[in-house]
Amino acid sequence: MITQEDVELARNAPWLDTPRVDDTSPENSALFTIGTIIEAKVREASRPLRDVIDEMVRRFSPWGLDSRLAETAYRYVYCWG
């Protein structure tokens, strides 16, 4: 489950500016959590990434999740997970 704290931390993830796999900051961990959840939804639903991202943004936009952050989180997991 994505929490509001995950979204707030992920917005400040150093990985957004300088991709590094060895950064274990809470912000990058939150970004990884969001990406892992999105990746699992893509696999379990066999739906296109765009559909899953749109659904997650609708659900979690009150906490600040937007499509850019959601897609970046997914790519973070895809690259390093």
The per-residue pLDDT for range 28-49, each reduced to its tens digit, is 888 889 999 999 999 998 889 9
Structural domain boundaries in the chain: 4-10+23-80
Q: Is the pLDDT of residue 81 over 70?
A: no
Confidence of residue 23 (pLDDT cuts 50, 70, 90): low
pTM of the model: 0.76
| Helix spans in 1-81 (H) | 4-10, 26-45, 49-60, 67-80
Q: Largest alpha-carbon pair distance within the chain? A: 31
Residue 36: predicted pLDDT: 94
CB atoms within 10 A of CB 75: 17
